[in-house]
Amino acid sequence: MTGDADYLLRVLVPNIRALEHFILDHLTKIRGVSNIRSSFALKQVRYKTALPLPAGGMSVSKM
């Protein structure tokens, strides 16, 4: 993570009203929190965690 964010929270809530409640009733009450920027996913486009590694595993060459 790079940029102007100090923390990244991933929050699972049942609906947008619950997200609003979490932000207003919890996050804004934390001393030192001066700015909150939120975004949310409308739908999952692709879920992939595997890295494209060679089939034979990792290869290290000596110099």
13-59 pLDDT tens trace: 999 899 999 999 999 999 989 889 888 778 888 878 777 877 766 65
Residue 11 belongs to a domain? yes
Q: What is the pTM of this model?
A: 0.58
The residue range of the domain holding 29 is: 1-33
Residue 27 belongs to a domain? yes
Nearest to 9 by CA among 30, 50, 51, 49: 30
Task: Report residue 46: phi and psi, to 5°.
Answer: -155, 135
9 CB neighbour count, 10 Å cutoff: 10
Res 48: pLDDT: 80
Res 6: pLDDT: 81
Domain total of the chain: 1
Res 58: pLDDT: 60
Residue 60 belongs to a domain? no
Res 47: pLDDT: 79
